[in-house]
Amino acid sequence: MTTREALQERSGNKCELCGNEKNLQVYEVPPVNDGGADSSILACETCVGQIEDPDTVDPNHWRCLNDSMWSEHDAVKVVAWRMLTRLKDQDWPQDLLNMMYLDDETLQWAKASGEETVEASEESEKIVHRDVNGVVLEAGDNVVLIKDLKVKGSSMVAKQGTAVRRISLDPENSEYIEGKVDGQHIVIITKYVKKT
């Protein structure tokens, strides 16, 4: 029995991701070890096209993973995990990822696509601004000064308890935020503010 025949039998001649019955093809899930049905899935042209070209991904198409992520076949689960990981900036894929279970070996295979490592390194390089309590600050947040601060280059003192509304973040330095105090635009060190 060929790989294609084995996959057609396994899937009932449907895309193992979205259930489509047209334009089906064998997709070998990288990195391919031995080929064969265990490391391949039967998928439609639409799914394979979006898997191979991240720029064409239509998040709504992948809501089908709500069902296919529960497949008993590791190759299907690996592709489902990779696509959910790729889409996790949306809310619903993250929820599905939280429910999904892959044993260690399958998870290692899923991560071997290289996508997760790129994302993780971008994540670790991202500058995160935190207030005195370690709470993450976002642009547009409101904060309160926790001590009197002399404003450099002026005689002004920003008093403890002063609210600074709609702060902006310094993209280069995680210790600096900017905001207006008494109508004057100033730079503030994050360890002297508390998010409200």
What's the pLDDT tens digit per position in 44-78? 999 999 999 999 999 999 999 999 999 999 999 99
What's the pLDDT tens digit per position in 1-27? 899 999 999 999 999 999 999 999 999
Tracing tokens 């991701």 back to the chain, one arrives at 17
User: Are 85 and 137 part of one and the same domain?
Assistant: no
- Residue 6: how many other CB atoms lie within 10 Å: 16
Which of residues 69, 104, 124 is at a domain's end? 124
pTM: 0.59
User: Are 98 and 141 part of one and the same domain?
Assistant: no
Tally of structural domains, the chain: 2
User: Are 96 and 53 part of one and the same domain?
Assistant: yes
Helix (H) or strand (E) holding 7: helix 3-11
Which of residues 124, 139, 164 is at a domain's end? 124
| Residue span of the structural domain in which 45 resides | 3-124
User: Are 26 and 120 part of one and the same domain?
Assistant: yes
CATH at 165 = 2.30.30.40
DSSP 135: P
